[in-house]
A and B are shown apart, each in its own frame.
Chain A
């Protein structure tokens, strides 16, 4: 499907579209692993926007896990290299507000998973 879309150039058009706005917000990175093609296009997107347009990413995966998200540690490293160059990384620890109510009422026992990286870094 992806390869097919790639053939008629629609993904490239999409890439151009996503390169345009001054701020691109990418929510929930890490829920779906990227197919090889998509990871490469994502790299192109990040490269095109690098030092031109801002990107805001939210992810439930620590940066160290992005290798598996993109299915290729080399691509993930190249993406992270550009993303982290001028970046603010904010790591939120703590409880889910969605689950807090349930926990209070005794439906759930304890807080869930925490992330591997806990530092809040400004690079």
Chain B
């Protein structure tokens, strides 16, 4: 346990018994068990990183693409949104504009794509132009990603 602490393998440490039981029950060989433990640790770290980066990005709420009601917005091309979710446009430094009347899901899509970007290790900042410039994030609130 102390060694797991020292290596900061906290997800494995916290659930060691459960994980070892599971490995034994599935009759994993040692190599499989090691991969199983490490995968668990990585999943927890990714989850933490996404939640932390989400706070830094200052999203107004949590929304995912999965929760978007595409049936309610037939003018939207779902494939086009899925293409944007690959974040290739971010790698290229491109721009995306969502235009439309209030209540058509523009902010939902923006937040969901922002979270997708964080998953792919891009740094993200969310600001609203409904407040004046001076209320936008101050210096020191942005932290670079790629910390892992």
Interface residues of A (CB under 8 A from B): 1-2, 5, 10-11, 13-14, 16-18, 20-32, 35, 38, 41, 49-63, 83-100, 112-115, 117, 120
**What residues of chain B lie closer than 8 Å to A38, measured between beta carbons?**
132-133
Which B residues are in CB contact (< 8 Å) with A92?
73, 75-76, 98-101, 104-106
From B7-15, B33-41, B137-145, give the one contacting chain A. Answer: B137-145
Q: Is B85 an interface residue (CB 8 A)?
A: no
- By a CB distance below 8 angstroms, the chain A residues around B84 are 88
Interface string of B29-71 (1 = CB under 8 A from A): 0000000000000000000000000000100100000000100
Contacts of B60 in A (CB 8 A): 27
B61 shortest CB reach to chain A, Å: 11
Q: Of all chain B residues, which has the CB nearest A38?
A: B133
Contact of B144 with A51 in the complex, beta carbons under 8 Å: no
Nearest chain B CB to A23's CB is how many angstroms away? 5
Decide: A24 and B125 in contact? CB cutoff 8 A: yes
* Number of inter-chain CB pairs below 8 Å: 218
Contact of A96 among B103, B136, B139 (CB under 8 A): B103
Verify A21–B125 contact, CB threshold 8 A.
Answer: yes
- State whether the Cβ of B134 lies closer than 8 Å to any Cβ in chain A: yes
Contact B124 A93 (CB under 8 A): no
Contact A63 B139 (CB under 8 A): no
A57 interface neighbour in B76, B97, B101, Cβ under 8 Å: B97
Q: Is B128 an interface residue (CB 8 A)?
A: yes
Q: Chain B: which residue is nearest A28 at the CB level?
A: B130
How far, in whole Å, are A86 and B95 apart by their CA atoms in the complex? Answer: 6
- Chain B residues near A32: list those with CB within 8 A: 129-132
Q: How far is the CB of A67 from chain B (nearest CB, A)?
A: 15
- Are B110 and A27 closer than 8 Å at their CB atoms? yes
Interface centre among B109, B117, B125, B144 (most CB of A within 10 A): B125
Closest 8 CB pairs of A and B: A96-B103, A92-B100, A58-B106, A87-B95, A22-B122, A21-B125, A28-B130, A98-B103
From B101, B106, B113, B134, residue with most partner A Cβ within 10 Å: B101
CA–CA, A90 and B80, complex, Å = 9
Q: Given A95-B72, A113-B101, decide whether A21 and B93 contact each other with a Cβ distance below 8 A.
A: no
Q: Is B80 a contact partner of A5 (Cβ separation < 8 A)?
A: no
